[in-house]
Each structure stands twice: as C-alpha cells, then as structure tokens.
Amino acid sequence: MILTALTDLWYGFGVALEPHNLMWCFVGVLVGNMVGVLPGMGPLATISILLPLTFAMKPVGAILMLAGVMYGAQYGGAICSILLNLPCHPPHAVTCLDGFPLTKQGKGGTALAVTVLASFFGASWGITEMVFLSPVLVRVAMQFGAAEICSLMLLGLLAGSTLARGSPIKGVAMTVFGLLLGIIGTDVNSGAMRFTFGMMQLDDGIELIALALGLFGIAEFMNSVNQIAAGETQYSKVRLRDMRPSKADLKRSFFPMLRGTIIGSLCALIPGTGPTIASFVSYAAEKKISKTPERFGTGMIEGVACPEASTHSSVQGDFIPTMSLGIPGDAVMALLLGALMIQGIVPGPQLISEHPDIFWGLVASFWIGNILLVLLNVPLIGVWVKLLTIPYRYLYPSAMFFVCIGVYAANNDMFQVGETVVIGILGYVLLRLGFHPAPILLGFVLGPRFEENFRRALLLSRGDLATFVERPISAVFIALCVLLLAAQLYAWLRAIWRKSGRGKLTPDPTADQSVAAAEPLRLGD
Amino acid sequence: MLFGLVAAAKGPGYGTGTLMRMGPGFMPTALGVILVLLGMVIAGTALAKPPGEDERILPDHPQWLGWFCILAGPVLFIILGNYTGLLPATFACVFVCALGDRGATVKNAALLAAGISVFGVLLFSYVLQISMPVLMWRGL
C-alpha cells in the first residue's frame, strides 16, 4: 500500500519534472507569489484570468500552473501582511497581529524567514497527507452509487456554504443561487432550454470564466477602487542578511509550527473549513497553550509560525477531497475543478486511476513548487517588497483588459464579455448586501453534476426519495448534513439569545476582514 | 428590509421553475422554492431587528466615477472590439478604467493604456494567435 503510493509518487515526479511541466509550475508559483504580494489582487481573480490561457495547454501543465498560482499566492500574502499590516488575503489576517509588530521592531526579516520555513513545513505535511490519504479515500469512493455521490455533494455544498465566512444562511442562499445559475442552458437529459430567456447565446449555459471573472474580477475591482491606499513602506526595508533567524527564534517556533500543521491538516479534512479558519483556530490554540498569552499581538514569533504552518498544510490538504472525490471545499478548488472539466476531464474518484499523470504530477509539483517558492522568496525578497509599491491605479485597469480579452478568447464571443459585466454588477450588489460570492461558484460548478446524480438516483429507485436514507453510506452523509444544519441553527439561536440586547445580527459587509477574524476565533475559544 | 428586495428579485426564479414541464423543471422548481424560503428567512431576520442599522447599500464614500469607469471599460471593449479591432478596444478599455481612479491624470492613464495596448496586442495577436483583427473598420 505504502509502497504503491511511493512508486506512484516517483512516477509523479517524473511527470512534474518534464521541462514544459516544470516551466508551467514555475510560471504558476511566480505569478501566484506576485499577486499574493500585490494588494487588491487575489488568487481567485488571477486563476480566472489565467484560465482562458490554459485552453491551449495540455491538462497536466494547465493544472500545475493554476495550482501553483494558488499556493504561490499564500506565500506572497504573508509578505504583504507582515511588512505592511495589510491582510490582502483572509488567511493571513492573523499573521498581521504578530507579524507587523515584529516588523516595527526591525525583525521583519526574521518573521519572513520563519514564515517561509513554517509554510514549507506545513505544506510538506499536507502533501504527505495527500499522498497517503487520497488512494484510501478513492478506494472507498469507488463503491459509491449515484445516491451516495449525491448526498456527499449535498454535504460538501452545505459545509462549503455554512462554514465559510459571513452569515451561514446567506451562504446557503448563495449556493442555491449558484445551483440555479448552473441550470441555465440546455438540459442534459431532455434537451429542453431552461432559463435562457430566448437568448441563443445562453443555450450552452453561463461560461465558468464569465462567472468567475464577473464575481471575483469586476466585482472586486468595484469594491476596492479608490479604497486601497498605497502601502506604508517605511518599515519594509528587508535585506537578505536580516533574514537569517537566530537559533533561539527557530527553537521557539518549532513546536508552534508542528501544532499549526496538525491543526491545519485536521481543518483540511473537514470540507468547507479552508485555510482561513485553520489559521484562526491555530492562533487561538497557540495563544491558549503559551505561557505568556498576554504577549501575543506584540510581536511573538510563535504567533507568526503557527498560523502560517496551518494555513499551508490546510491549503494542500484541501486538494484531497477535490482531487479524490471531486468535491471542492472552497471557491478556488471549485475553479480548479472547473479548469479540469474544461479540459474534458471528469472529476471524481476515477480521476486518479484514469489520469494518474494529472494527480501524481500535481502532488509532485506541490513539492517542487514549494521548493521553488522558498528559493524565490529568500533571495528575491527585495524585489517582492518593491512590488508592494505598485499603485492600485495601474493595476486594475491592466487587469480589466485581461478580464475582457480572457473572456472573449474563451469562445471568441463578445456576448460573454457583456455577461461578465452583468454578473460583475450583480456580484458587487450582493457583496454590498453582505452576501459572499464564493459559494455561488461552488454551487455553479457542482450544480450540473448534482442534478445528474440526483436524477439518476431517483431513476434507479423508481422515484423513491427514501433511497437516500436507506443506503447506509448515503444515510451517514445525510445525517451529517442534518447535524451540520442543527449545529448552525443552535449557534444562531444562541447568538440571538446572547445578543438580543445588542442587536446587529448580520455582519456589516465593509467589516469583512474583522468578521472573518471574529467568527473563527469564537470557534477556537 | 434590504433582503426582502433580494427575495423579491429571486421570485421570478420560482415562477419560471413551476411553469416548466415536470421533467426538466423539477430541479429549478425545487431550488426556486428553497431560495424563496431562504429569502423569506433572511428578510424576516432583517425585519425583526430595529430599522436604521444595516441599511447602507452604499459604502461610506460612493465611488460613482470609479464604478462607472470600470463598467464602461468592458462595454467599450465590446463595442470597439466588434467594429474596430483589438488595438483601439484595448486602449479604450484600459484608458477609461484608469480614469476611474482618483489619483489618475489623463496623461498617466494614456501612457498606461498605450503600454498595455502594445503588450496586449503583441501577446494575444502574435503569440497566442487570437482570432480578432488588430485594426479594422467595419462601418456602423
């Protein structure tokens, strides 16, 4: 068992080290690192922009590059949050708490070095987990029929929408909305047109790229235009020399790293709890364990090492359900799955056996990519710091051009650019209303497969809904769904109970960061 | 309050769903019903608490100019892309978007737009062979 996994991994390294794959992996992590550093550009927007470019590529190279963008951005985001106190990406919001004080004390370099180390450590663990857990999961998942897949998807959707940031009920509403968007177009089973409103261009459904770029490109730009100030770079003069951490620092951060990694990998196993929650929970846990909890927030190296390690181990761990079951845990994973589907590859348990080059190549490329990132980050830190000074006003118009041409190039169809604009406006309005757009994408990607499996299950059981409860595995998933809903309902009622005097139930959309900060901390305490 | 609007906006989804034939219409109908229910719950919670708290759809400083420019960019890209080709479309799109920023000057925006245009045309027309003419005139 272990031996097969190792041989497969060896094969994966063979795939990932092929020159063109290696090159795409490098391009991916480079771009990812870059956008991670730049305030106002997230991995979601970047992956969607790069998506059209991957059409001409081989599936392996495409997925290596897109995945590289994703974890590269995690590295870059840490730089931004430590040196500028700007949490560009939600998982790094906690890193700011201790990272920025360290920078102010002139120890920014040390903090960065520890971050890089912790990230690498966490990521390696996440990858190892993926190597050994995925085949096991796949073996189980091979037994699944339509009913099981269907209820598993339901669980994934529910978890993805309720455990993410913001209000759970809004998350569910957005997922359902995404499922509805996924229905637009020709019905696979009967050929009937649904929700096309007589527009020929909608017959094939909404294009994934148009949706993603509308929601995470245009809507995000609208949200942040004139809002993002150029970073304060007064503290951020970091040289390579400063980056060598002292032995004491290393010793202090080793166990937090370990603990962070374990928490992160546990969080990754629960669908829907992505890196953001992992980092908050681990920070809270570290604070609890520490002998000097009152000093957290004033520049404790532990407070940097632990959340960073957990973020990275959970980022890599998130790939486990995505690749082995075909159930993405968050919007980025949904996008990656979408990219695979565009390449004509059906995600699901059969992916590993049918396309071993993709799966094992991806796993191997994680390691290669992480090593590349360490190599990129340590000597080139000065370059990344320079990047921080690029003003947003040059950034977003350029990005808009890539959005336009990307959507156009996907199908050579101008109509879809219009589609993107409309979705962008919609996405912005929803964002202002406190609805987070990420679950829409989750619902959109899973929607068609959910419907297909749902119908197939009902067809097999001759229209008897009880099939979902009668089959044991499926029943377990349904029970988990109910449990999840009940827990949410309980938490919600308790919140009303407690806050009845104070009001303010729905989080203010402008305070997205702080909401994200408050919620999981409550979980962790 | 606000969310009542959202529920109302989603209402048509319900209507179209039920009007469909039973086979393909089942899923939309079910989802529509769920969404309307959720909308009602959200509207309910919004109504339940005292008004005047979370009623700001607009942020503190509405960026009408910024929003308008960002949206005008792609629209111009569509129009110019259809009638005059890639180069003018790119230039117009980037230029207009760049003007949306408070700190932008016409000169800066034009420089940026020119730079991106050259880069974009080189990359997409010559390297990636996109099927859109660089420059053309297809009268109105």
Kindly tell me if the per-residue pLDDT of B53 is higher than 70: no
pLDDT band at A516 (very low <50, low <70, confident <90, very high): very low
Say yes or no: A454 contacts chain B, CB-CB below 8 A. Answer: yes
Inform me whether the C-beta atom of residue A393 falls under 8 Å from chain B C-beta atoms: yes
User: pLDDT digits over A434-477, tens only?
Assistant: 677 777 887 887 777 777 777 777 777 766 666 677 777 777 77
Q: What's the pLDDT tens digit per position in A383-405?
A: 777 776 666 667 777 777 777 77
Angstrom distance (rounded) from CA A202 to CA A176: 20
CB contact under 8 A, B27 and A218: no
Mean pLDDT of the residues in chain A? 73
- pLDDT in the model for residue A143: 74
Length of chain A: 525
| A418/B78 CB distance under 8 A | yes
d(C-alpha A474, C-alpha A479), whole Å: 9
A405–B120 C-beta distance less than 8 A: yes
Residues of B in contact with A408 (CB under 8 A): 77, 81, 130, 132
Q: Which residues in chain B are contacts of A173 at CB distance < 8 A?
A: 35, 38-39, 42
Which tokens hold the place of A505?
């139930």
The answer to whether A216 faces chain B, any CB pair under 8 Å, is no
> A498-520 burial by CB neighbour count: b if 16+ within 10 A, else e?
eeeeeeebbbebbebeebbbebb
Q: Count of alpha carbons within 13 Å of A489, Cβ hemisphere only?
A: 7
Q: Coil, helix or strand for A185?
A: strand
pLDDT (mean) for B54-78? 66
Which of A275-284, A488-497, B32-41, B48-57 bottoms out in mean pLDDT, i.e. has the lowest? B48-57
B71-130 pLDDT per residue, tens = 777 777 777 777 777 777 777 777 777 776 666 677 777 777 777 777 777 776 666 666
DSSP codes, A148-175: HHHHHHHHHHHHHHHSSSS-HHHHHHHH
The two counts, helices (H) then strands (E), for chain A are 23, 2
Question: Does residue A44 have a pLDDT over 80?
Answer: no
Contact B3, B42 (CB under 8 A): yes
Share of chain A above pLDDT 70, in %: 75
> Left if phi > 0, otherwise alpha if psi is -120 to 50, otherwise beta: which for A69?
alpha
Q: Is A230 exposed, middle or buried (0-12, 13-18, 19+ CB in 10 A)?
A: middle
Residue A308 · residue A302 · CB < 8 Å? no
> Do A69 and A32 touch, CB atoms closer than 8 A?
yes
> Which of B22, B94, B111 has the highest number of chain A CBs within 10 A, making it the mutation to test binding with A?
B94
Residue A55's closest chain B neighbor by CA?
B128
Q: Above 80 in pLDDT, residue A406?
A: no
- Domain ranges for chain B, please list them: 2-48, 64-127
| B13 to A187: CB separation less than 8 angstroms, yes or no | no
pLDDT at residue A90 greater than cutoff 60: yes
Tokens found for residue A2: 């272990």
Q: Does A142 touch chain B (CB under 8 A)?
A: no
How far out from the chain centre does Cα B59 lie? 18
**Predicted interface score ipTM higher than 0.85:** no
- Distances in whole angstroms, Cα of residue A498 to Cα of each of A486, A487, A491, B53: 18, 16, 10, 18
Q: Tens of pLDDT along B119-137?
A: 777 776 666 666 666 666 6
CB contact under 8 A, B6 and A433: yes
pLDDT, tens digit, for every residue of A217-240?
Answer: 777 777 776 665 555 555 555 555
Task: Give mean pLDDT, residues B63-75.
Answer: 74
Q: What is the pLDDT of residues B2-32, one digit of tens each?
A: 554 554 455 444 444 444 444 555 566 666 6
DSSP states of B17-82: HHHS-HHHHHHHHHHHHHHHHHHHHHHHHHHHSPSSSS---S-SS--HHHHHHHHHHHHHHHHHHH
From residue A71, alpha-carbon distances to A61, A74, A106, B29 in Å are 16, 5, 27, 39
- Which of A192, A226, A401 is facing B63, going by the closest CB pair? A226
Residue A501 has pLDDT above 60, yes or no: no
Over the stretch A152-190, which tens digit does the pLDDT of each residue have? Answer: 777 777 777 766 556 677 777 777 777 777 777 666 555
pTM beyond cutoff 0.90 = no
Per-residue pLDDT for A513 more than 70?
Answer: no
pLDDT at B24 (0 to 100): 52
Closest CA to A132 of A367, A361, A366, A360: A360
Per-residue model confidence (pLDDT) at position B95: 77
Tens-place pLDDT, residues B30-44: 666 666 666 666 656
Q: How far is B71 from chain A (nearest CA, A)?
A: 7
Residue A134 has pLDDT above 70, yes or no: yes
Number of other residues whose CB lies within 10 A of the CB of residue B58: 10
pLDDT band at A509 (very low <50, low <70, confident <90, very high): very low
Whole-number percent of chain A with pLDDT over 90: 0
Model pLDDT, residue A186: 63
Residue whose C-alpha is closest to residue A441's, from A208, A170, A275, A152:
A208
What is the b/e burial string over A75-112, where b = at least 16 CB atoms within 10 angstroms of the residue's CB? bbbbbbbbbbbbbbbbbbbbbbbbbbbbbeeebbbbbb
The residue type at A351: L
| Backbone angles phi and psi of A190, in degrees to 5 | -115, -15
Which of A515 and A163 is assigned the larger pLDDT? A163
C-alpha torsion angle, residues A296, A297, A300, A306 (rounded to 10): 80
Partners of A179 on chain B (C-beta within 8 Å) are 31
